[in-house]
Structure 1
Amino acid sequence: MSDSQDPSSYASPPFDHEKADVILRSSNNVDFRVFKLFLSLASPFFETLFNLPQPSEETSTDVVTKDGLPVIPLSEDSETLDSLLRLCYPCTLVEIATLEDFRVLANVLEAAKKYSLAEIKRMACESLFSPEILEANSLRCFVIACRSCMQDECALAARYTLREPLVPTWFEEIELITSTELLALLTYHRKCGTAIQTLKDDFSWMNTQYPQWTAAPWMVGKTPSGSPCCTRSSSRRYRLFPGTEAAQWFEAFMDSTFLDMQDKPCVETVHRNIEKAVQTVRQGDCRHCSVAVPGGMRDFGVLLIDKVEELIGKVELDLKF
């Protein structure tokens, strides 16, 4: 039947072309006049759909037409369809969608999966899950990966979220994931922080690079000849070498670093605390350590970061689709 009391409106160009041969109607009643050929080439779903025998208005009262074209209602809204269809069309005919809005991108990825648009899904994933995007939007990327049931991308985004606090601040897209998915992410974050804490209880991981205090006298507040040069700790929490206490500033570095990594268990936390420690030593009055510590601590940071990444790599995100 024709849509005599049609509340819909046509989409903006190029989806209002007079020579189009089918209409896709969005959930908010925006009609997209499109070409079957373009959609069939992009998607086996649409190819199969358009090859099915189409009932005529004479044989079925359920057929909806508009301006002589069959109307196919879809569940996606017009913003999602516009972005999706632009990616299906030849680039010479449309302005490619930028997909800067994360909610739209999440919907486009879901639709790409639903309509078997494998190439569009691949393109969107490559753009979304690049290091640059993940560094700035790790939590949002995790949400989109969950929405699209992408296991590997979920794990990748979860790794980047370790740069955020254990309990993240509210962001709009958090409403798009389930409580199970959020709990899995928070549990993963906590397990990573817990795994790293083992490094401060057993210093055997340092033995290869620092077999004895003479390999890093600045750690224990000594000059290379063994003379005391910086205040040493009396707490005995960090007996890095037999019979030798850590320098007080090094103990403060270890305390703050491992405390911070309970909340943000990532290499960036190590980098920040190393730079703070270097500045602390430089502001002190030890001429030996102010020269030796900057390079020594950055070398130590490489070792610590390797161990942090090794331990985090053993923690799995317990989330299956």
Structure 2
Amino acid sequence: MSSSLFSSRDADLILHSNSSGEGGQEDGSSINFLVHRCVLSTASPFFEAMLSLPQPNAERNSDIPVIPMAEDGSVVETILRHIYPLPNPPVETLDELAQMLEVARKYDFTSVSNHLRQTLVAAQFLEACPLRVYAIASRYDLDEEAKVASKATLCAGLDKMPLHDDLKSMSGFAYHRLLQLHKRRARDAVALLELPDDVRCMSCNGRRDTVNQPPRWWAHYKEAAKEELLARPTSDIICSLSFIQRAALASGCERCAGSILSSCWFFDQLRQKIDTLPATV
């Protein structure tokens, strides 16, 4: 079967996709892609070198050389759409992206690899599967993408992310670096949980014996913030209004809410300090 998209009459090369079924037998689903040597050679140093050599064992079809591909038809077509002047097909899943990245690197399609690297750290993947993105980036030594993904994992928490086969290909070194980032940042963020002396509550600090003590809301806030930072070492949750309000309610003091309200400057400073901590591997 021939590809309807790649069927140019002036093609001088055929890429024959893999169609092996169970037992490695041909199942009849292979696709022939009629392509141009000049396009492949320009896009890939691998093909440039290969096509410059005589290929006595190449299959022949109407005097056009046939190159068998190990990949199935959908993968071959997707890669070809990236190197021909056609709209790039959308990448819907990380499984698809990882497979395409493997092929692009195998055949040295640099421009395709660069496009896929940008797609790898798109918001849709970073927000849903930051650890998988980090694992894929680490597998292919994509340092910048690994840094971006490592930062995204901070908001999710390592213990909350599901296991996936992509993690099997991540080295112990790469995972240890990520684990150290989380632990180091959590430690440094927790160390910032110090309340200034001038934060007071009119009720909690209204007596002589409590005037130098922190308001009651602070103990509840600090304990909850510490627990949250150890799981997700970012300022997003602990500086949110809903999180802070819970400390006021837990204090049992009617005026702690007013104390917190007048301490907005403290939470702004806390957020800024946490946000400036190192956030990537």
What TM-score, normalized by structure 1, do the two folds share? 0.70
How far apart are residue 133 of structure 1 and its match? 4.0
| Kept in 2: contact 1:267–1:309 (CA 8 A) | yes
Q: How does 1:151-162 map to 2 (within 5 A)?
A: 151-162=143-154
5+ long unaligned stretches in structure 1: 1-8, 233-242
1:169 to 1:249, Cα distance in 2 relative to 1, 3 A: same
1:97 maps to 2:64: no
Describe the SS at the equivalent of 1:13: strand
Question: Please, which of 184, 188, 198 is the counterpart of residue 191 of structure 1?
Answer: 184
Q: How does 1:295-310 map to 2 (within 5 A)?
A: 296-297=263-264, 299-310=265-276
Q: How does 1:57-206 map to 2 (within 5 A)?
A: 60=56, 62-91=57-86, 95-131=87-123, 133-175=125-167, 177-180=169-172, 181-200=174-193, 203=194
1:190 to 1:73, Cα distance in 2 relative to 1, 3 A: farther
Identity of aligned residues (%): 24
- Per-residue Cα deviation, 1:228-262 (whole angstroms, up to 9, x for no partner): 29xx7xxxxxxxxxx72222212111111111111
Question: Please, which of 245, 253, 261 is the counterpart of residue 278 of structure 1?
Answer: 245
Aligned-partner Cα distance in 1 for 2:115–2:243: 41
What is the identity, as a one-letter code, of the residue corresponding to 1:40?
A: S
What is the identity, as a one-letter code, of the residue corresponding to 1:228?
A: G
Higher mean Cα deviation, 278-287 or 14-23?
A: 278-287
5+ long unaligned stretches in structure 2: 20-29
| Kept in 2: contact 1:106–1:148 (CA 8 A) | no
- Per-residue Cα deviation, 1:266-303 (whole angstroms, up to 9, x for no partner): 2223234x52222553796635x434523623x32322
Q: What does residue 41 of structure 2 align with? A: 40
How far apart are residue 23 of structure 1 and its match? 1.7
Aligned-partner Cα distance in 1 for 2:45–2:262: 59
1:260 maps to 2:224: no
Q: What does residue 22 of structure 2 align with? A: none
What TM-score, normalized by structure 2, do the two folds share? 0.79
What is the identity, as a one-letter code, of the residue corresponding to 1:111?
A: V
How far apart are residue 145 of structure 1 and its match? 1.0
| Kept in 1: contact 2:14–2:64 (CA 8 A) | yes
- Per-residue Cα deviation, 1:103-143 (whole angstroms, up to 9, x for no partner): 12112223333333332222222233245542333123212
| Kept in 2: contact 1:167–1:186 (CA 8 A) | no
Q: What does residue 202 of structure 2 align with? A: 222
How far apart are residue 171 of structure 1 and its match? 4.6
Q: What does residue 237 of structure 1 align with? A: none
Describe the SS at the equivalent of 1:14: strand
What is the identity, as a one-letter code, of the residue corresponding to 1:188?
A: L
1:276 to 1:64, Cα distance in 2 relative to 1, 3 A: same
1:20 maps to 2:11: yes
1:162 to 1:156, Cα distance in 2 relative to 1, 3 A: same
1:108 to 1:251, Cα distance in 2 relative to 1, 3 A: same
How far apart are residue 21 of structure 1 and its match? 1.6
Q: What does residue 240 of structure 1 align with? A: none
Describe the SS at the equivalent of 1:23: strand
How far apart are residue 81 of structure 1 and its match? 2.0
| Kept in 2: contact 1:83–1:99 (CA 8 A) | no
RMSD: 3.1
How far apart are residue 175 of structure 1 and its match? 4.7
1:249 maps to 2:250: no
What is the identity, as a one-letter code, of the residue corresponding to 1:193?
A: A
Aligned-partner Cα distance in 2 for 1:63–1:23: 10
| Kept in 2: contact 1:17–1:34 (CA 8 A) | yes
Aligned-partner Cα distance in 2 for 1:295–1:74: 68
**How many residues were matched structurally?**
267
Aligned-partner Cα distance in 2 for 1:184–1:75: 35
| Kept in 2: contact 1:195–1:312 (CA 8 A) | no
1:302 to 1:177, Cα distance in 2 relative to 1, 3 A: farther
